[in-house]
Amino acid sequence: MGTRGAFDVSLGKQPHPTAGPPADLPVAVTGRCEPSVAGDRRTLSIGGVVLPFPVQQAALSGYSDRPMRVMARRFGAPYTLCEVMLEQFVRSLRDRRRTRHFTFVADEDHPVGAQLMGDDPQGLAVAARKLVECGFDVIDLNFACPAKKKAARRCRGGLLLTQPDTAVEIIERVRDAIPADVPLTVKLRRGYDDSAQSEDRFWRIVEAAFDRGVAAITVHGRTVVQRYEGPSCWEALKRIKQRLPDHVMLGSGDLLDAESCLRMLRDTGVDGVSVARGAIGNPWIFRDLIALLQGRPRPAKPSVEEQADVMREHMALVIATYGVQRAVAEFRKHSVRYAERHPLGSEVVRAFARARTLEDWYAVLGRYYAVSRRWYVVSGSGR
């Protein structure tokens, strides 16, 4: 476990694993850190965490586990967040092999944030303190996720935007519970809905958050009732940032490639971008954005052989984290997203979806990603 403090984050470079299943399964997989790329760039400060580029990998429920975060870091993401965890779950965690990965933090992971969701201010305070003790550098509160119908009776996630008093109490309790040098951040949607009352409640929470020591907020451009439908309203993000010129705000929503990230930075004036779905099966998005921020051309799309190397590396991390028996099931949702950029996209997606064992998975990789075969990318395909 690393130590906390101010960070000057450097970029990682991914190794290239050999083909085929690893003969000697690793206990841990580590990357190599290399100096930051030189050139003009905009930095981003989240409390004492200073990032060389204004981008983070967002917390993604069911996706942003440690393997995904490590891959993002190796492709340049200067800061990542773990998948959202409920405060009751965190408080109940014991040091068991099956769940240890939720709170495991290695030296190469820093800086890394833990995102919490819940409706109990004191329970969230206890959970936040526990995560800081595990080594997380930032605590992020989720006031954004649309609640599923069966969970709507619990006022958590995006539903807290309808209960500003509870939201502010949560912020107060968590800020008081964690050390002063650990930044507290908040993820919100731009409102519960498009009503004037919803906007007023949003601003009550945001203004109180900064008054109580929140270091930064991330705002998603959809409302809670929109869930994931319709476009993210970047004009709303622009208006919010204009009202917060002296505070750190990141934008989120519809950031599916490096170009859209750059457009959001330029068009809305936000201080940084939080990449969510655009990073699933696409760690290259961080490399590409850094190039554009530095005024360089976007790197060429990864060849089929490069894709295979990265998928092997990601799978090695999954095996190290979950073990051989769980690896294919845990990685399936990532495999199908990687496969979408293959010239035979839908066919490869189906093949990975059918894989049940590690041998099946490597057979699909060998069949569709063989160096000896010639693959032609149709213009405009891939991500």
| Tens-digit pLDDT profile for residues 257-314 | 999 999 999 999 999 999 999 999 999 999 999 999 999 999 999 999 999 999 999 9
> What are the tens digits of pLDDT across the range 210-221?
999 999 999 999
State the catalytic residue, choosing from 145, 155, 233, 261: 145
The mean pLDDT of 346-351, rounded to a whole number, is 97
pTM of the model: 0.85
> What are the tens digits of pLDDT across the range 85-140?
999 999 988 877 778 889 999 999 999 999 999 999 999 999 999 999 999 999 99
Output the pLDDT for position 58.
97
109, two tokens:
């992971």
Predicted confidence band of residue 16 (pLDDT cuts 50, 70, 90): very low
Predicted confidence band of residue 375 (pLDDT cuts 50, 70, 90): low
DSSP letters of 138-204? EEEEEE-PPPPGGGTTS--GGGGGG-HHHHHHHHHHHHHHS-TTS-EEEEEES-SSSSHHHHHHHHH
Mean pLDDT over all residues of the chain?
A: 87
| Least confident residue range of 46-55, 93-102, 124-133, 183-192 | 93-102
145 is catalytic: yes
Report the share of the chain in percent with pLDDT over 70.
Answer: 84
Q: How many CB atoms lie within 10 A of CB 54?
A: 21
Rounded-to-integer distance, Cα 336 and Cα 206, Å: 37
* Listed residue (368, 230, 343, 341) closest to 278, CA to CA: 341
Packing angle between helix 164-177 and helix 196-211, nearest 10 degrees? 20
Output the pLDDT for position 148.
62
- Find out whether 342 and 307 touch, Cβ atoms under 8 Å: yes
Pick left, alpha or beta for residue 20 (phi over 0 → left; psi -120 to 50 → alpha; otherwise beta). left
- Find out whether 275 and 78 touch, Cβ atoms under 8 Å: no
Output the pLDDT for position 104.
92
Asked if the model's pLDDT at residue 69 lies above 90, the reply is yes
Asked if the model's pLDDT at residue 26 lies above 80, the reply is no
Asked if the model's pLDDT at residue 37 lies above 70, the reply is no
Predicted confidence band of residue 153 (pLDDT cuts 50, 70, 90): low
